[in-house]
Chain A
């Protein structure tokens, strides 16, 4: 049963002007977000995953950045050259975002109740102060904060990291958005708290039916929470599939390399284990990308076809129509 498609990103290109020249942080990215489903965007530093999220929210700082090509369609409407006042109505209201560092994303001089109410005030002006406060308390209850009537008067520094992230989620969901973008929401949290937050997000998605874009570098988190996955490298999607297919049949050598880099618990007895399979070399500088496939210098499966004669690799179906990979020599 196919869900309703609420966001389409088509051939998105985001450029930044720097003193060393123009660089494409995002270079031709395509994906869709469906109601009630979670898509994970996986990548390391410099992959462009956070910039993609900011582009959807219309938060690319301009200057020095700008959306230089492609389209972002929210329920059919283009967000790319939209009027800033129109975008403000959508931001926080229909599309909400939570960030990695709950410590610095909350304003230390306002109570958490105030911060939730601020969003409600902006987008639902018909509610009066009492109604807003009630809604704020309900949101805190929804995200699992105990004694919300008391906590609503507290300041961010009085809360722990996990609590603050829950407050961020409460703020993001207070206007019942259609899409929640979560940029590394649990990276800064302890592992037991991370488990709680991910459980919470799944539960809320079931209850509220929003689409989630989860940006992370942690494949484990992706495996547990996402329905679909897109793997990014140097500003482009190199592989995309539903989560089961990706983990069982990774097709791009980079995806495979990432999975092999993680030590697994299944390595057992005899203490000294084999070395971790690593991906050789480093991510190339975006100012100095090779012609042809961006991954060629680190790829164990590189062939002459990858080095530029055929141009850049394009996403093509691998194991089935919905599993796409951009590779001249994909793994079988």
Chain B
């Protein structure tokens, strides 16, 4: 039995571009391009990147909320890529997702009690009325919401509280793996810290495995064991979080971390400011997609796409001319 709860191999997601007279397919956007990674049970893998990098598409593709174009998703030893709807339903108990926007991810016409009970109804859990009520109260307790929340509607709660409801919904079926898709980005700073603490406590108490997608590098680095960096659909570096911050090999990673404004007035010498814009994923540069903005770029970088270099068991990157 593998120690890896989830293994993704060469996952691809292409979105067709239609054009011309009859709406024929004239090209494709490689939103996710041959991405491979593994996550151990109980681990948190952080996933960062800027607009167009494909991290959100990747997160949803793993759960098959968006259908991948090709590749394998091995969950608990089973490749779920071709599972039927019925087989997926069983798997969905084990894999859940928390979305970014706590306002949009709750049905405004349902009470909190109904929202939390729905996953149990679908999977036939706790069918006895009393058992269900007990479980609902238990869930509210786990996310530190008061018990009278059951009869209220989402619009009566603040952003942070709504996010807790979303977390409770994800926990309702006792999953093993949760994709957190920017779960704290829409929240105030002080509330973010509360929700991050909550997620870490739940992970410890319930033995959960997380894929934590975010653009706030500080939060990702804090909560994750390892962090993966994406650029225009490719995973360009992955390493343990402390290693990534201090010893990034890929120039983009270095620039990314360097761009973060720091809440201290220590000198900010050596700040890297990248030239130019993030290219559109519809028309990525040839060779290594980062080469036009890279100060280390060589001829080879402009010609071919770099393969994976394995620096250690936990640190991989794709670069022909990495930082020393």
A residues engaging B (CB < 8 A)?
44-45, 160-163, 190-196, 198-199, 217-225, 243-244, 247-248, 257-265, 267-269, 271, 273, 275-279, 282-283
Binary interface profile of B, 171-200, with partner A (CB < 8 Å = 1, else 0)?
000000000000000001111111011001
Contacts A224-B268, A262-B218, A275-B200 hold; do A191 and B263 have CB atoms under 8 A apart?
no
Residues of A near B200 (CB, < 8 A) are 275
- Chain A residue numbers with a CB within 8 Å of B154 are none
Other than the given A160-B278, A190-B50, A273-B222, 11 more pairs (CB < 8 A) read: A44-B190, A195-B271, A195-B273, A219-B189, A220-B263, A257-B190, A261-B190, A268-B242, A278-B197, A279-B190, A283-B188
How far, in Å, is A219 (CB) from chain B's closest CB?
4
Q: A163-B277, A267-B222, A273-B222 are in contact. Are A220 and B51 (CB under 8 A)?
A: no
Task: Enumerate 15 A-B pairs (CB-CB under 8 Å) in ascending A order.
Answer: A162-B277, A195-B273, A196-B273, A196-B274, A220-B262, A223-B261, A224-B261, A259-B263, A261-B192, A261-B193, A262-B263, A265-B218, A269-B242, A282-B191, A283-B188
Complex-state Cα separation, A217 to B189, whole angstroms: 8
CB closest chain-B residue, reference A190? B50
- Cα distance, A278 to B190, chains bound together (Å): 6
Complex Cα gap A45–B225 (Å): 31
Interface residues as binary, B262-280 with A (CB distance below 8 Å gives 1, 0 otherwise): 1111001001011001100
Interface string of B209-233 (1 = CB under 8 A from A): 0000001011101110100000000
Please determine whether A191 and B268 come into contact, CB atoms closer than 8 angstroms. Answer: no
Q: Which residues of B contact A198 (CB under 8 A)?
A: 261
Are B260 and A271 within 8 A (Cβ)? no
Residues from chain A with a CB closer than 8 A to the CB of B196 are: 263, 276
Which residues on B sit within 8 Å (CB–CB) of A194?
259, 261
Complex: chain A residue closest to B53, CB-CB: A190
CB of A271 within 8 A of CB of B225, answer yes
User: Taking the complex as formed, is B141 at the interface, i.e. its CB lies under 8 A from any CB of chain A?
Assistant: no
Q: Could you tell me the distance between the alpha carbons of A247 and B160 in the complex, rounded to whole angstroms?
A: 27
**Measured CA separation A55–B258 after assembly (Å):** 36
CA distance A171 to B291 in the complex (A): 32
- Partner pick for A191 among B192, B215, B271, CB 8 A cutoff: B215
Check B273 against A190 for contact (C-beta < 8 Å).
no
Q: Is the pair A219, B193 in contact by a Cβ cutoff of 8 Å?
A: no
CB proximity of B252 to chain A, nearest CB, Å:
9
Pair B50/A248 contact, Cβ less than 8 Å = no
Chain B minimum-CB-distance residue to A195: B259
Q: Main SS of the interface on chain B?
A: helix
CB neighbours of B153 from chain A (8 A): none
**B88 interface residue, CB < 8 Å from A?**
no
| B242 contact set on A, CB distance < 8 A | 268-269, 271
Q: Is B256 an interface residue (CB 8 A)?
A: yes
Contact B218 A264 (CB under 8 A): yes
Task: Output the least CB separation between A91 and chain B (Å).
Answer: 29
Name the A residues within 8 Å of B161 (CB-CB).
282
Q: What residue in chain B is nearest A285 (Cβ atoms)?
A: B158
Distance A219 CA – B161 CA, assembled complex (angstroms): 24
**A259–B218 Cα gap in the complex (Å)?**
13
Question: How many A-B contacts at CB < 8 Å in the complex?
Answer: 123
Per-residue CB contact flags for chain B residues 238-268 toward chain A (1 = under 8 Å, else 0) read 0011100100000000011111111111001
Is A247 a contact partner of B263 (Cβ separation < 8 A)?
A: yes
Complex CA distance for A241 and B59, rounded to whole angstroms: 43
Interface centre among B159, B218, B240 (most CB of A within 10 A): B218
What is the CA–CA distance of A26 and B225 in the complex, to the nearest angstrom?
Answer: 43
Contacts of B192 in A (CB 8 A): 261
B188 in contact with A217 (CB, 8 Å): yes
Chain A residues within 8 Å of B215, by CB: 190-191
Question: Looking across the interface, which residue of chain B has its beta carbon closest to that of A273?
Answer: B222
A192-B255 contact, Cβ under 8 Å, with A160-B277, A259-B263: yes
Q: How far is the CA of A269 from the CA of B190 in the complex (A)?
A: 25
- Indicate if the CB atoms of B265 and A263 lie closer than 8 Å: no
A165 to chain B, nearest CB (A): 11
Point out the residues of chain B lying under 8 angstroms from A161, CB to CB: 51
Contact A191 B278 (CB under 8 A): no
A191 engages B217 (CB within 8 Å): yes
Q: Which of A222, A259, A262 neighbours the largest number of chain B CB atoms within 10 Å of its CB?
A: A262
Query: Which residues of chain B are within 8 angstroms of A160 by Cβ–Cβ distance?
Result: 277-278
The answer to whether A191 and B193 touch across the interface, beta carbons within 8 angstroms, is no
Q: Which residues of A contact B201 (CB under 8 A)?
A: 275
- Shortest distance in angstroms between A270's beta carbon and chain B's nearest beta carbon? 9
The 4 A-B pairs of least Cβ separation, nearest first, read A220-B261, A263-B222, A190-B50, A261-B193
How far, in Å, is A260 (CB) from chain B's closest CB? 8
Docked complex Cα distance between A279 and B259 (Å): 27
Complex alpha-carbon distance, A223 and B263, angstroms? 5
Asked, given contacts A161-B51, A261-B192, A275-B200, whether A220 binds B265 with beta carbons under 8 Å apart, the answer is: no
CA distance A192 to B231 in the complex (A): 12
**Most chain A CB inside 10 Å of its own CB: which residue of B50, B245, B260:** B260
| CA distance in complex: A194, B216 (Å) | 12
Which residues of A are found within 8 Å of B256, using beta-carbon distances? 191-192
Task: Give the distance in Å from the alpha carbon of A273 to the alpha carbon of B193 in the complex.
Answer: 13
A223 to B222: give the CA distance in the assembly, Å: 21
When the two chains form their complex, are residues A190 and B262 in contact, meaning their CB atoms are under 8 A apart?
no
- A220 contacts B160, C-beta separation under 8 Å: no
Chain A nearest CB from B203 CB (Å) reads 10
